[in-house]
């Protein structure tokens, strides 16, 4: 018995010695170094443009692309404005066959078009025969909510007979179908992921894809969000929540006005923006164009209310703090915050307060804007579209404006808002920004995005 005890103690001592020495030899206290993740491709279908160059130019010009909703179905609704995709810019019937359109929702079609531009920009379309490349490429694309009219029309069809229900009805309304359709189309067999976190969907999708690459689950991720749910029922539902703007039906271009004194609710938009994220050495190895870098990702929950953020802004503060901690940065390193700011009276004020609280005196010199004044609120595709503009600001050194921002109320002062006209981002160091996205249910996401630096 004594001999057995002695052997066990000696073995435990030897194991402790090995573990202690292993801990000393590994970097970052035993954890492997995080892999750097860069952005090599962008694509977009949006109210402000259906390619990246056009969308960015429209944003910098301070143009609002919000219009009036026409049709008898909208005439009796309190809100009659929205930011829609002009058929002149994208005609889905020219982009897909009739058979293909039967299998996909409008949002899925937008995602596929945006993804094609992003993959072309990145120069990443490996053939299906290249098994390793396809197996190391994943997809993370989400939707905030499905097209409610698809459900209503199918219900009417069912009343006429079971055989009138399309066999593609269920696939059309599943939120993971943009990711699924894209994966099938290109043969990508890495992570196949779909987020549905209301208005934080697009930011969560990019953040999750960032983590997949960091942790070695993939070398390339095609990610973002898509949304197309503008309909009489969708508008009516949000109106009943008192969430939409109703004061500018006769002047649609003025209706979305983040941070402005006259803001009275958000304006619904539709579209998609897609990113190609890539592990740095993988991108360098194939001489890919590097547009910028994802530096950090933060998440939090309000645990407070179904639709309203916490009054003290702690949910937003936690998400921003965690994104900075993940990037190993301090608030003083940030030069720009692209705010979630949807143009609601409560939400914009709470976000402004949270930015002031986190950044302190630095908040007075750091730039803040929301591009929703130009393109409205794309719900599940908001965070990714606005992350694209945040990235382009870092890359090009130009700050996008908040359209229709004329008068800031006293409770939101203390920030340097970029209003109506773009400004040059004067900086003698690396340009770094935060992109905030918050959703119903109290879900918050923050991306830290930076200019690419060796």
- What is the set of active-site residues? 199, 340, 377
DSSP string, 407-430: -B-GGG-SSEE-BSS-EE---SS-
CA distance 330 to 44: 31
Which residues does residue 140 pair with via DSSP β-bridges, in sequence order? Answer: 193, 223
CB of 148 within 8 A of CB of 233?
yes
Tokens (6 digits) for 129:
């025969």
In sequence order, the 6+-apart residues with CB closer than 8 A to the CB of 408 are 259, 260, 261, 417
3-class SS of residue 169: helix
Return d(Cα 383, Cα 201) in angstroms, integer: 7
- For 87, 112, 142, 187, 278, the CA distances from 184, given in Å and listed in that order, are 26, 11, 16, 5, 20
Torsional sign, CA 49, 272, 140, 132: negative
Give the rounded distance of the alpha carbon of 63 from its chain centre: 21
Which phi and psi angles does 156 have, rounded to 5°? -65, -40
């Amino acid at each position: 018995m004594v001999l057995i005890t002695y052997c066990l103690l000696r073995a435990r001592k030897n194991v402790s010695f090995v573990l202690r020495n292993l801990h000393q030899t590994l970097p970052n206290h035993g954890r492997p170094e995080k892999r750097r993740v860069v952005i090599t491709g962008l694509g977009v279908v949006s109210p402000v443009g259906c390619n990246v160059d056009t969308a960015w130019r429209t944003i910098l010009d301070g143009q609002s692309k919000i219009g009036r909703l026409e049709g008898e179905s909208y005439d009796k609704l309190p809100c009659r404005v929205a930011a829609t995709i002009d058929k002149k810019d994208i005609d889905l019937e020219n982009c897909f066959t009739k058979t293909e359109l039967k299998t996909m929702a409008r949002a899925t079609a937008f995602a596929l078009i945006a993804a094609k531009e992003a993959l072309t920009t990145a120069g990443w379309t490996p053939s299906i025969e290249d098994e390793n490349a396809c197996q190391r490429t994943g997809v993370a694309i989400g939707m905030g909510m499905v097209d409610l009219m698809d459900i209503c029309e199918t219900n009417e069809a069912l009343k006429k007979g079971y055989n009138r229900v399309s066999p593609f009805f269920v696939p059309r309304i599943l939120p993971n179908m943009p990711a699924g359709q894209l994966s099938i189309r290109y043969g990508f067999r890495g992570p196949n992921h779909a987020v549905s976190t209301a208005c934080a969907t697009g930011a969560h999708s990019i953040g999750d894809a960032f983590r997949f690459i960091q942790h070695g689950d993939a070398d390339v991720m095609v990610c973002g969000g898509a949304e197309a749910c503008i309909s009489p029922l969708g508008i009516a539902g949000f109106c009943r929540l008192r969430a939409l703007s109703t004061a500018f039906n006769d002047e649609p271009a003025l209706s979305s006005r983040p941070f402005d004194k006259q803001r009275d609710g958000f304006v619904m938009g539709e579209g998609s923006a897609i990113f190609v994220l890539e592990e740095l050495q993988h991108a360098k190895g194939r001489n890919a164009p590097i547009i910028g870098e994802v530096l950090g990702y933060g998440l939090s929950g309000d645990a407070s209310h179904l639709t309203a953020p916490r009054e003290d802004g702690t949910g937003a503060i936690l998400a921003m703090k965690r994104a900075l901690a993940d990037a190993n940065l301090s608030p003083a390193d940030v030069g720009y915050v692209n705010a979630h700011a949807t143009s609601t009276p409560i939400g914009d004020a709470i976000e402004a307060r949270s930015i002031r609280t986190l950044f302190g005196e630095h908040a007075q010199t750091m730039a803040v804007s929301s591009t929703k004044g130009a393109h409205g609120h794309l719900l599940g595709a908001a965070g990714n579209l606005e992350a694209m503009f945040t990235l382009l600001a870092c890359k090009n050194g130009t700050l996008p404006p908040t359209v229709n921002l004329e008068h800031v109320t006293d409770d939101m002062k203390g920030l340097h808002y970029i209003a109506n006209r773009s400004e040059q981002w004067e900086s003698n160091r690396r340009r770094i920004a935060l992109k905030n996205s918050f959703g119903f249910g109290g879900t918050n996401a923050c991306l830290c995005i930076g200019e690419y630096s060796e």
